[in-house]
C-alpha cells in the first residue's frame, strides 16, 4: 500500500506498466508483419483458435492499460497542482516537447486505440463493416482495403508519430524512475529511447505506406 500512496511508488507503477505495453507493441508488430509474408490470415486464425488465451491476455492488457492511464493522469494532476504557471516550461531545463506533452500524446494514442479496436476487432467502421457478416474473416483483405483509403492511412501515420513522441520520453523516463540513469548515461539512454521509438514508428507506418504505394494489394 505504501507503493500506491507515495508519488515515487505511483511513478514506478506507471513506468513498469508502460514498459509492459511496449512489450505488447513489439509482439503486435511481429504479428502485423506477417502480412508481408502472406501469413496474416493464418496468424489471426491461430489466435482465434485459442479463445481462453486470447481473453486472458485481453484482461491482462486492460489491467495494465488501466494502471498506466490511472497513475499517469494522477501524477499529471499532482504536478499541475504543485507546480502552477507552466512549471515544466519555465523551470525544467531538460524539458522537451515530448516530456511536456506526455498526457496529450497519451490521450491521442488512447483515442486511436479505441478507433483501432472498433475497426479491426469489432469491425464497426464503414471500411471493414462487411467483414462482420462473413463467417471467416479475411484479415489481409480487411487491412489492405482499409489502408488503401489515404485518410485512414494518414490517421494511422499521425497516431504513430504520437507513439514516437510518447515513447521517446517514456523509455528513458522509466530508467530514471527506476534509478538506473545518471548524468553520464542520460545522453546514451535518451538517444536509445529515441532510436527504439523511431524504429517502432517506422515499422508500423511501413504497412499502410506499402499498401498506399501499391506494393501490397488485393
- Looking at the chain, list the stretches that DSSP marks H as alpha helix, in order from N- to C-terminal side: 2-5, 7-33, 40-48, 51-82, 87-91, 97-100, 102-116, 139-147, 150-177, 186-212
Using one digit for the tens of pLDDT, what is the confidence trace for 9-66? 888 999 999 999 999 999 999 999 999 999 999 999 999 899 999 999 999 999 999 9
Q: What is the CATH number of the domain that holds 62?
A: 1.20.1300
Helix 139-147 to helix 40-48 angle, to the nearest 10 degrees?
A: 120
Using one digit for the tens of pLDDT, what is the confidence trace for 96-153? 899 999 999 999 999 999 999 999 999 999 999 999 998 888 999 999 999 999 999 9
- Looking at 34-50, list the stretches that DSSP marks H as alpha helix, in order from N- to C-terminal side: 40-48
Q: What is the total count of domains within the chain?
A: 1
pLDDT band at 94 (very low <50, low <70, confident <90, very high): low
For residue 116, being part of any structural domain is answered with yes
CB 115 within 8 A of CB 90: no
Question: Residue 25 and residue 200: Cα distance in Å, rounded?
Answer: 8
The per-residue pLDDT for 2 is 61
For residue 202, the tally of other CB atoms under 10 A from its CB is 12
Containing structural domain, residue 106: 2-212
For residue 11, being part of any structural domain is answered with yes
For residue 6, being part of any structural domain is answered with yes
For residue 39, the tally of other CB atoms under 10 A from its CB is 14
The per-residue pLDDT for 93 is 40
For residue 218, being part of any structural domain is answered with no
The per-residue pLDDT for 92 is 44
pLDDT band at 1 (very low <50, low <70, confident <90, very high): low
Question: Residue 27 and residue 37: Cα distance in Å, rounded?
Answer: 17
Mean pLDDT of 163-176: 93
Q: Fill in the DSSP letter of residue 95.
A: -
Using one digit for the tens of pLDDT, what is the confidence trace for 75-84? 899 888 876 5
CB 125 within 8 A of CB 118: yes
The per-residue pLDDT for 102 is 94
CB 41 within 8 A of CB 139: yes
For residue 217, being part of any structural domain is answered with no
Contacts of 27 (CB under 8 A, 6+ apart): none
Question: Residue 93 and residue 82: Cα distance in Å, rounded?
Answer: 18
Amino acid at each position: 500500500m505504501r507503493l500506491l500512496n507515495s508519488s515515487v511508488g505511483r511513478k514506478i507503477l506507471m513506468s513498469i506498466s508502460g514498459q509492459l505495453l511496449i512489450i505488447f507493441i513489439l509482439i503486435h508488430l511481429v504479428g502485423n508483419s506477417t502480412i508481408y509474408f502472406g501469413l496474416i490470415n493464418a496468424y489471426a486464425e491461430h489466435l482465434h483458435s485459442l479463445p481462453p488465451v486470447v481473453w486472458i491476455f485481453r484482461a491482462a492488457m486492460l489491467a495494465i492499460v488501466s494502471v498506466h492511464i490511472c497513475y499517469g493522469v494522477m501524477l499529471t494532476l499532482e504536478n499541475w497542482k504543485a507546480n502552477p504557471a507552466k512549471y515544466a516550461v519555465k523551470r525544467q531545463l531538460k524539458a522537451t516537447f515530448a516530456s511536456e506533452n506526455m498526457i496529450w500524446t497519451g490521450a491521442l494514442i488512447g483515442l486511436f486505440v479505441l478507433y483501432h479496436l472498433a475497426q479491426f476487432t469489432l469491425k464497426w467502421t464503414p471500411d471493414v463493416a462487411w467483414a462482420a457478416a462473413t463467417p471467416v474473416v479475411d484479415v489481409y483483405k480487411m487491412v489492405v482495403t482499409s489502408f488503401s483509403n489515404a485518410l485512414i492511412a494518414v490517421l494511422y501515420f499521425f497516431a504513430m508519430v504520437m507513439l514516437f513522441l510518447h515513447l521517446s520520453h517514456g523509455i528513458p523516463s522509466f530508467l530514471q524512475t527506476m534509478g538506473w540513469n545518471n548524468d553520464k548515461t542520460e545522453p546514451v539512454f535518451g538517444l536509445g529511447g529515441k532510436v527504439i521509438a523511431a524504429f517502432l514508428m517506422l515499422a508500423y507506418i511501413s504497412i499502410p505506406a506499402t499498401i498506399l504505394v501499391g506494393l501490397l494489394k488485393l
